[in-house]
Amino acid sequence: MLNIQLAATAVIQQVLSNGRNLNQALDEALRGKSAWTSAQRAALQDLSYGTLRFHGQLRAVLDLLLHKPLTDERVRFLLLVALYQLQYGKSAQHAVVDNAVRAAQTLNIRASGLVNAILRNFLRNRASLLERAVQGEEGRFSYPQWWIDELRAQYGERSAAILDEGNRHPPMALRVNRRRGTAADYLALLAQQDISARLIEDDSIGFGALLLDKPVPVDKLPGFFDGLASVQDAGAQYAAHLLDVHDGMRVLDACAAPGGKTAHILENAAVQMVAVDKDEKRLQRVAQNLQRLGLSAQLVAGDAAAPEKWWDGKAFQRILADVPCSASGVVRRHPDIKWLRRRADIAGCAAQQLDILRALWRLLAQDGKLLYATCSVFRQENEQVVAAFLAQQPDARHLPVVLPENENGQLLPDERHDGFFYALLQKI
């Protein structure tokens, strides 16, 4: 446990102090630890994700326990990790405290006595400390105050449920490769492996995703490496259906990496697919996903906002614009997002999204359709971007989309899917 606490402390420091992406920080922490077991790696991920997921609450508790500011930020991060373990973990409490004290000694922080006192004080007064911590909204919801305020302004009383949902563990959904079998066939294969799952259906657009009762490693999924199925959030699976593709069409996925939606479109229809992404390394992941599924596409490294640098001049009948965004709808999968984003970032994202939408519109054929998509729950990136585009583009018509509990194309995160927004536009 000692080494895992130390590694998690370093990860949290990289994210909160240095603004590093959580997955990148985890990868860095695991370098040189090839001897670690899968259980140790999973424990590090749990401590890192969990501490960031409940950072607002844990920080509020720690502030109540401290009588004066800490001189070494590593002490704060170590205490946050240990508090997460004591509140949410399954390890013995004495082991958590003892190892945290040893971790402080290993870091040469000279704060082992303080660490011991703080954690034991928490255990003695847990109930009252937690009750006081949630009196403030950041402690109650574990989000920055600006995020809480923004969602309340947009969603009113429903904002609390959206915030709470973002702190739960995400569901694991599968997409069955229709070229290799049906959802019913794959459900039977899962049952043979004692993996419990159910079908999420939307007959209005022929949609079907499989939702696992409990997440499992991909190497436990039958036929995964043979391309029978893919891991993809159920909300993300609406994109390929809403785009309304048919055999023979020329289709563009403009921000394609890591390629889940690209592959899903190709599974649904035999189209001429061009997949573009500005990150060449991430484009390699698209290639790997397509190869596993037995699919092919033309992969192009390029900026969706500057198509003149890569477009061949041939119009597309369908365009998927899954644009970069705040990712506010997927925070339960990426809890670092809550603490790395700033209010000003939302306006910056919206400006970039509108630029991409304008640029891609020139590539769309007459009567063609463009699906604008984000994984955001902020209206500045969603309805407001689409409204601004429609006000400037007289040849664009906003088509209705069919979604469960549809609110102008907005899917809010729940037990089945993450938060997404979709707007279908047709060139008239």
> 25-43: per-residue pLDDT in tens?
999 999 878 889 989 999 9
Q: Hey, what domains does the chain have and what are their CATH numbers?
A: 2-138 (1.10.940.10), 172-232 (3.30.70.1170), 235-427 (3.40.50.150)
Triad 174, 160, 151: Cα angle to 5°: 90
Q: Where are any strands of DSSP class E within 314-360?
A: 316-322
The tokens describing 418, both together, are 């993450």
Q: What pairs with residue 422 in β-bridges?
A: 373
Average pLDDT across the chain, whole number = 94
Mean pLDDT value of segment 360-371:
98
Using DSSP, state whether 30 is helix, strand or coil: helix
DSSP track, 81-125: HHHHHHHH--S-HHHHHHHHHHHHHHTT-S-HHHHHHHHHHHHHS
In contact, 332 and 416? CB cutoff 8 Å? no
Residue type, 392: Q
Tokens 């785009």, residue? 243
Using DSSP, state whether 3 is helix, strand or coil: helix
In contact, 145 and 137? CB cutoff 8 Å? yes
pTM to 2 decimal places: 0.93
Give the count of alpha carbons within 13 A of 356, CB side only: 30
Mean pLDDT value of segment 143-148:
98
Using DSSP, state whether 293 is helix, strand or coil: helix
> 274-329: per-residue pLDDT in tens?
999 999 999 999 999 999 999 999 999 999 999 999 999 999 999 999 999 999 99
Q: Return the active site residues.
A: 375
pLDDT at residue number 200? 87
Q: Is 186 exposed, middle or buried (0-12, 13-18, 19+ CB in 10 A)?
A: buried
Q: How many CB atoms lie within 10 A of CB 280?
A: 11
